[in-house]
Chain A
Amino acid sequence: MRLKLLYLLRNLLRNPRRSLLTCAAVGLPVMIYVLSMSVVDGVERFLDNSMTQLRLAVTQKTSIINPLPAGYRKKIAALDPSSQRIIAVCGMSWIGGRIEGDPRPLSTLAVDRDAFISAFPEFQLSEDEQAAWMRDRRAIILGRSTARQFGWQVGDRITLIPSLPPYSPMEFHVISTAEKATDPSTNWCHHAYWDEIKKQSGYPAEIVGFLFIKCATRQDMDYYRVAIDDFFANYSDATKTQDEKAFMNEFITQQFNLPRNLSILSAVTVFVAIMAAGNTMSMNFRDRFSELATMKALGFGRWTLFSQVQGESLLLCLLGGAVGAFVPYWAFNYSPLRNFTVPLIQQLEVTMVVCLQALLISAGVGVIAAAWPAIQAWRLSVVTALRNQE
C-alpha cells in the first residue's frame, strides 16, 4: 500500500501547536531517560571494568587517608616469589592538583611507572605512549575529559600545583589523553616524581597512599585478598584488602542508591510520555474519523487506515524522541556542557547506544499511544462514521 510520507507530514502540520506539544511531551521524558541512563551506564561501566580487571585495593586498615609504608610494595610482591600470581604491585598517591589562577580542581594520581602499565592494561597505551611514559619522569597521562576541558593536547607542557604539601609546582609533559581509560577525568603521573618533589622540601617520601595489586586469576585474587591482610596483621600499619569492585560498590551504595533510583525515574518518565502522547493521539483522531471513513469508502483497507494512524503517531513520537535524545547527545559531546561533572563518574558520557535505545522507546511510546485510535480505525464502520458526521 502506498502510504505517502508526504501525507503523514502534512497531517503533522495540520495542527502545528498540538504536534509541537506532543513532540515536547515525548521529547522531555526521553531526555530525562537519556540523561539518567547515561549516569547508570557510567556507573555500570565503572563497576564492570573493576570486576574484569582482577585488581585488589590495599589501604591502611583504619582509614584510606592514612598512607602505607613504601616498603609494602616489595613485601607484597615477595608473597609471590614466582611473580606468576601477582602480576604487578602499583603504589598510588592522590595529589589532586590545580593550575595557577584557575579554581577548577583536578584529580591526579601518582603511580608507579613500571607497575602502572601492567596493572592497568585497559588504558591500551600505544607503543609510542608507553615509550614516552617510561622515558620521561615528568610524563602525565590526562583524563580525556580533563584534557578537553582545559584544552590540553599531547605534547603540551603543563604546570600543576598539588593539593598536598609541599604545594610546589610540578611541570608535566602530556604524553597521552587516555582515550580508552574507564575514568575520563583522572590524570596519572610518576610516583617517583612526586617523591622527588616531597624530598626537595623535606617531606617524608617513603610512604604511599594505597596499593593496587594486579592478580593473574580470580583464584589468586581470592587468595591474596586474605593473605595480604593476614601478613600485615601484626604490623603497626595493618591493611584492608578488597577487590576493586567491592571497594567501588561499597562506595556507591553507601553514597546513594543511584542506579536503582534513576531506573525508576526513567520508567516513570516513559509512562508519562505514553499518557501525554496517547491523549494527543486520541484528540487528534477523534476529529478525523470521518476522513478515515472517506478513505475507507474510497477503497482503502483497514490495514492502511491502521498504519496511517500508527504511522503518524510513530513519526511524531520519533521526532520528539530524536530531539530528546540527540540534544543531550550533542550537548554532552560537543557543547560546553561536555565539561559538566557528575559525582562518582565525573564526566557524563551520553553514548549513541543510549540515544538509539531512547529512539526505540519513543517508537514504542508512539505505537502504544496510537493503539486505541488505530484499533478504532481498524474497526471503523464507514456508515456509522459518516452518519455521526451529519
Chain B
Amino acid sequence: MVSIDIELHDVRKVYYKSTLAIPVLEGIDLQIAAGEFVVFMGPSGSGKSTLLHLLGGLDQPTSGSIRIGADYLEQMSETELTRWRSHHVGFIFQMYHLVPVLTAAENVELPLLLFELSSRERRQRVELALSVVGLAERMEHRPSQLSGGQEQRVAIARAIVTDPDLILADEPTGDLDAKTSTEILELLQLLNRDFGKTILMVTHDPKAASYGRRILHLEKGILHRDETNQPIHTSR
C-alpha cells in the first residue's frame, strides 16, 4: 500500500536577514523508509520545524536534494509543490489551525475540494476520517464548541482524509494536557501501525517521542543522533 520512501542529501537552509546569512540546516543526510514513525527532537531553534517544512514541501531548501518517492521537491515550482502537497502530505500543527467558521465535517472536507469527487464520496470519506479519530458524533460542531484535544483530532481527520502517504506533525501535543496528548499519540500510532502511514513528528516531550520507532536528534542544524526506539505498545 505504501511505497514512498524519503531520501535527503546534503540539505541546507539559510535564511537571510537583510545581508546577514542565518544558516539553519547545515547539511542533512537522511533516509526514511516507507511506514516509519520518526520523531525529531532537539533544542529550540535547532531547525526541527524548518526540516519538517522542507519535507512537507512548504518551503524549498537553499541547496541539496529532497527525494520523496519518485519526486525531487527541490526541482518543483511552487504550483507543483502545492499540488504535490494535496496528494501526498497531511499536516498536523500545534495550534490545530481549523477554520473557525466551518463545522468539523466541513473542515475535514476542505482538502477534498481539491479533488474531483462527488459530494457523496466526499461525505463518505469525511465520515470515515472522523470515525477513525473517534469524532463521528461531532460532525456538525464548530471548532469553538470542541475541546483542544477534539480540535486536534479534527485536524488529524483533515490530515488523513485525502489518504496521504506522509503525515507531518509539528508538536501536535504541545498545547494539550497529558491525558489528551496520550490519546492523540495513540491515534498517530494507530495510523502508522494499522494504516501504514509514514509519520514524521516534531516534539520536545520525551514521553511523546517514545511513541516513535526512530528518534532523530537535531542540534544547530545538524543531525546529531539517530536512535531506534522500542515504542510503547498501546492496549489497542
Residues of A near any B CB (own CB < 8 A): 1-2, 4, 7, 10-11, 13-14, 290-291, 293-302, 381-383, 386-387, 389-390
Contact = CB atoms under 8 A, between A and B. Distances in A.
Interface of B: 49-50, 53, 56, 58-59, 78-79, 82-83, 85-87, 91, 93-95, 97, 99-102, 106, 110-111, 113-114, 158
Contacts of B82: 296, 299-302
| Top 8 closest pairs, chain A to chain B, by CB | A299-B86, A10-B101, A294-B97, A298-B111, A2-B113, A382-B58, A299-B85, A383-B59
Contact of A299 (B49, B97, B101, B114): B114
Given A291-B97, A386-B93, A299 B87 contact: yes
Given A2-B113, A10-B101, A297 B95 contact: no
B55 to A, nearest CB: 12
30 contacts: A1-B113, A7-B99, A10-B102, A13-B101, A14-B100, A290-B97, A291-B97, A291-B99, A293-B97, A294-B91, A294-B97, A294-B99, A295-B110, A296-B82, A297-B58, A297-B85, A298-B85, A298-B86, A299-B114, A300-B114, A302-B78, A302-B79, A383-B50, A383-B58, A386-B93, A386-B97, A389-B95, A389-B97, A390-B94, A390-B95
Contacts of B50: 383
Contacts of B101: 7, 10-11, 13-14
Contacts of B158: 298
Contacts of B78: 302
Contacts of B58: 297, 382-383
A296 B57 CA distance: 11
Contacts of A296: 82
Nearest to A386: B93
A297 B114 contact: no
Contacts of B91: 294, 297-298
Q: Which applies to chain B's interface (DSSP): helix, strand, loop or mixed?
A: helix
Nearest to B60: A383
Among B56, B82, B91, which residue has the most Cβ atoms of chain A within 10 A? B82
B113 A4 contact: yes
A298 B83 CA distance: 9
Contacts of A382: 53, 58-59
A294 B59 CA distance: 14
Contacts of A10: 101-102
A369 to B, nearest CB: 21
A2 B113 CA distance: 6
Nearest to B98: A294
Contacts of B87: 299
A293 B58 CA distance: 10
A87 B49 CA distance: 89
A294 B58 CA distance: 11
Contacts of B102: 7, 10
Contacts of A291: 97, 99-100
B78 to A, nearest CB: 8
A135 B49 CA distance: 94
Contacts of B86: 298-300
Contacts of A1: 113
Contacts of A302: 78-79, 82
Contacts of A299: 82-83, 85-87, 111, 114
Contacts of A14: 100-101
Contacts of A389: 95, 97
Contacts of B85: 297-299
Given A10-B102, A13-B101, A383-B59, A294 B114 contact: no
A286 to B, nearest CB: 15
Contacts of A383: 50, 53, 58-59
A16 B110 CA distance: 23
A82 to B, nearest CB: 78
Contacts of B56: 297
Contacts of B94: 390
Given A295-B99, A298-B158, A386-B93, 13 more contacts: A2-B113, A13-B101, A291-B99, A294-B93, A295-B110, A298-B110, A299-B82, A299-B86, A300-B82, A300-B86, A301-B83, A386-B97, A390-B95
Nearest to B56: A297
Contacts of B114: 298-300
Contacts of A4: 113
A264 B94 CA distance: 53
Contacts of A295: 99, 110
